[in-house]
Chain A
Amino acid sequence: MPKHVLLIEDEPNIIEAISFILSRDGWTVNTHSNGTTAVDTVHARRPDVLILDVMLPGKSGYDILRELREHPETEGLPVLMLTARGQTKDREMAERAGVNAFMAKPFSNSEMLEMVRSLSTP
């Protein structure tokens, strides 16, 4: 059974690129581009891995992650956070929010894929 990835990202071109890379590797990819409704979407979709952008319209990736971690169903959900603001400070904030993996944009396709794969195998 193919593994399920949910991608929350607002840049259309980046959505297209990540979707292409993961689909090609056999993943089922769902996308969502609004921060405000992201948490609901996660609960509805129940993905195996969540890929989360930081700067989203409506609500930041950190806030979304914190909300997910407070919820028992999603507190163990593997989350890969992508951010265009690649400063140390951002990484620390992500870690405090309870992230599993963190990658700065732009990323290498293969590394990103490896990261998603490793997150999906407990």
Chain B
Amino acid sequence: MTTLNTLVAVCLGYVLFLFVVAFMAERSALRGNGRWLRSPLVYTLSLSIYCTAWTFYGAVGSAARTGFEYLTIYLGPSLVMIGWWWVLRKLVRIGRTQRITSVADLISSRYGKSNLLAIGVTILAVVGTTPYIALQLQSVTLSFQVFGTPAPAADALHDYTALWVAVGLAVFTVIFGTRNLDANERHHGVVMAIAVEAVVKLTALLAVGVFVVWGLSGGLSETLARIDASPLGHWQMEGGRWAGITLLSAAAFLCLPRMFQVLVVESDDETHLRTASWAFPLYLMLMSLFVVPIAVVGLDLMPAGSNPDLFVLTVPLSQGQEGLALLSFLGGFSSATSMVIVAAIALSTMVSNHIVMPIWLRFTGGGASVSGDVRHVVLVSRRLSIAGVVGLGYVYYAVSGGGTALATIGLVSFAGLAQVLPAMLGGIFWRGATRVGAFAGLTAGFGIWLYTLFLPSFGSGMILPDALMQNGLFGLGWLRPYALFGIEGMDPVLHTLFWSMAFNLGAFFLASLVSFPSPLERLQGAQFVNIFQHSGAASSWSGGVVQSEDLMIMAQRILGAREAQALFAREAERQGHPGALPETSPDFLEALERELAGSVGAATAHAMVGQIVGGMSVSVEDLMAVADETAQMMEYSSRLEAQSAELSRTARQLREANAKLTRLSVQKDAFLSQISHELRTPMTSIRAFSEILRDGSALGPEDQAKYATIIQDEAIRLTRLLDDLLDLSVLENGQVSLNLRQGLLCDVLDRAEAAALAYTDGPRLQINRDRKAETLVLNTDLDRLSQVFINLISNADKYCDAAQPELDIRVVQTAESLVIDFIDNGSGVSVEARDVIFEKFARVSDGQAGGAGLGLAISRQIVTRLGGAITYLTGQKGAAFRVIVPQGMALAAQ
């Protein structure tokens, strides 16, 4: 009889063996010569963690209870591997190019890096996996009990068996699962150990099977006859349940965190899938080959009431085949441990990345830079997460008491994790899938699963009260967990699968259709769905030396030869082999990345190093970060450009303003000089003649009168000049207020004529007017208009050089305006002078006429204020001026 002590010794020896295997594998991987580690065979064998203790022990139990139904558990994954290899290929490609670390990471990345989604999936995964881990612990404990029942001294030990197993597994996982923070999250040691365990469990099961068929039943035909005779032979296939569980296991194969870990995350080369697609179904077939014979023989041999789940152990034991039983025990132990190890790694990655690290970063306020400090924190958080996950499994085991049949727990777990499937497949095949949709689907599915399957699975009255199970939530019959919406009599698992998937899919599609994806989501969606257009065939890791050389070349380009060589030499020395190129250890890569980041920016540096190491294509995140940096630089430079343009614009404006001021200043000087001249000239005459008169003893009375008159004239001229200047100033400043009145045009002209000719000696100028045309009523400032007319008439009087000076005043009324022309019969104004006659002091004639040259300037100001215009009329013989007054101011006389 194998004692418990030998069993413990065997277990410890086996675990030690696994340690050695894992350690060797890690060593060769680190040295870069572990090509055999990355063979398709190892990949295929690592997939066997699908076959846990549940399948190892439970399949026989299931067959004993429900016949061939256990096959569905194998059928689902086989169908996926054979029929859905393209889905797997896409997942693996996405996982590699996007550097996906877990199911939660995949969902989160696809839906715009939503951490909320990641947390949701992580919680779902933890809740769904915990019973499963408990199941493994239970199976190990049960198998111990099979061997250990007679020894009372072992009671104390086997009570703690599960605990010891849990602790042992946690330690193993911590050691090999968190050795380093490989950027690719690959664990060569662990994968190798799992592959070895896969061989052990297959060998064990096959050995028991061969023993049962040929050793106990006496051959193949006898065995078949035995099967026919047993109740199993009369088993009827229940179509719905068969299809449902096949679907469930297929979904679980894709969604289980540990399966995702080995399928996608640990995958070195997607071409391995080609081998796995036939080899893994073969493995499953071999695993299932002897299940029914063992079950049938077990039912025959073992006393009624013995646990069929343990037939694999108890049948050889009952036949005294302790060696075989021990092998079988190791097979079961392998199944359990490999599952727990990988599940713990997968879950700890999720918990650490999506729950612990975000919280830690928030509390420390640290940036996302992977400094050594953060690395340390990540490692600690991973380790604690592993311990936590395994611990949770143990607590579940301890609390639930391990009473429930193994198969049921497995299916409950499957159904929970299958909820990820719509978001996962939708995410990689449907660009329209959105974060809101994924969240809605997951929440709905998870909620229904929790309510209709997970919580009731603890047993009636454990968590959900009996009353609720019987009468439904709030006493509503249609809310009974096992008969949702009034559908009764269905298998609970199928019932849950149906409703949770219906709501999950419905919510996922509806919410996706009505919500809009964010830009990042849209981009990621395109990247995921069109992954084969975006990435070249993912290549596997190339050798370390080649990478170092490539890194050196790149570093030299960016840092300069001397600096790069110094950095590499420093790193090589630190790694303990000075003179050689440093190995591409994470520490070295980090240091290099930091160094490069100083030159090209963090994101670019990361992308460059990533491109060389592992030959992975640049992820969207990298590209976006590079784009961000570039955009920032471009924005900065365009800001500089804008500033410089602004400056030169300001400078130009200043130059223009300055030139304008200079021009204005010159104009002002000229104007003042002009005024000075106009004022001093009459004053000169006045002063000279007043002095002459003062000491004028010798002056005759005529001279005295003459000089007095000159003084008077000049004084008047001076006064008029000042009046004009003030008038012009007022008009130019726009301070003039118009005094609008109604009056006849002919009256205005009459007054103007009289005033203009008042100071001339006799009516020298003859004025020709058409009084009939002038009989128009004006509504304007009559005095101001009169002032314009006076100026024009007196100009004609002063400057018309004809022998018989005449002035024609012609009035024409058009639709829009009233036109008054003043045309004399003199020689007119020279062409060059016409442009300047309306300017101030623009006296162009040679003769002295007493004016200061302000008249036309004033006239133009007045007419402009009245809304009209004054122009020099070309094409006439003499000087001709046209005054235009807007029609609104002229009304036909009554």
A interface residues with partner B (beta carbon < 8 Å): 10-14, 16-18, 20-21, 24, 34, 55, 57-58, 84-87, 104-110
Contacts and interface: CB of A to CB of B under 8 A. Distances in A.
Contact of A109 (B677, B680, B692, B713): B692
A108 B673 contact: no
Contact of B677 (A20, A24, A55): A55
B673 A106 contact: no
Contacts of A106: 680, 683-684, 686-688
Nearest to B703: A20
B689 A17 contact: yes
Interface in B680-733: 680-689, 691-692, 698, 710, 713-714
Interface in B249-284: none
B677 A85 contact: yes
A85 B681 CA distance: 9
Nearest to A24: B698
Contacts of A84: 676-681, 684
A11 B692 contact: no
B848 A12 contact: yes
A41 B686 CA distance: 28
| Most B-side CB within 10 Å, residue of A10, A13, A18 | A13
A16 B703 CA distance: 11
Contacts of B832: none
Given A84-B680, A85-B673, A21 B848 contact: no
Interface in B46-80: none
A47 B77 CA distance: 132
Interface in B631-686: 673, 676-686
B238 interface: no
B848 A20 contact: no
Given A34-B846, A87-B673, A17 B692 contact: yes
Contacts of A24: 698
Contact of A21 (B679, B681, B688): B688
B714 A105 contact: no
A109 B691 CA distance: 7
A20 B687 contact: no
A14 B688 contact: yes
Contacts, number: 66
A-B CB proximity, top 7 nearest? A17-B688, A84-B680, A13-B685, A106-B687, A105-B684, A106-B684, A84-B677
Contacts of A12: 848
A45 B691 CA distance: 29
Contacts of B673: 85, 87
Contacts of B685: 11, 13-14, 17
A106 B710 CA distance: 15
Nearest to B680: A84
Given A84-B677, A104-B680, A105-B681, A18 B846 contact: no
B848 A105 contact: no
A107 B686 CA distance: 10
B683 A105 contact: yes
A20 B713 CA distance: 18
Nearest to A108: B691
A85 B688 CA distance: 17
**Which of A18, A55, A84, A87 has the most chain B CB atoms closer than 10 A to its own CB?**
A84
Given A84-B679, A84-B681, A86-B680, 4 more contacts: A84-B680, A106-B687, A107-B688, A109-B691
Contact of A107 (B678, B682, B684): B684
A24 B710 CA distance: 19
Contacts of A14: 681, 684-685, 688
B427 to A, nearest CB: 87
Interface in B440-499: none
Contacts of A20: 692
Interface in B376-392: none
A11 B679 CA distance: 13
Contacts of A58: 846
A17 B738 CA distance: 44
A11 B680 CA distance: 11
B753 to A, nearest CB: 27
Nearest to A109: B691
Contacts of B677: 55, 84-85
A85 B673 CA distance: 6
A10 B848 contact: yes
A63 to B, nearest CB: 17
Contacts of B713: 13
Nearest to B681: A84
B687 to A, nearest CB: 4
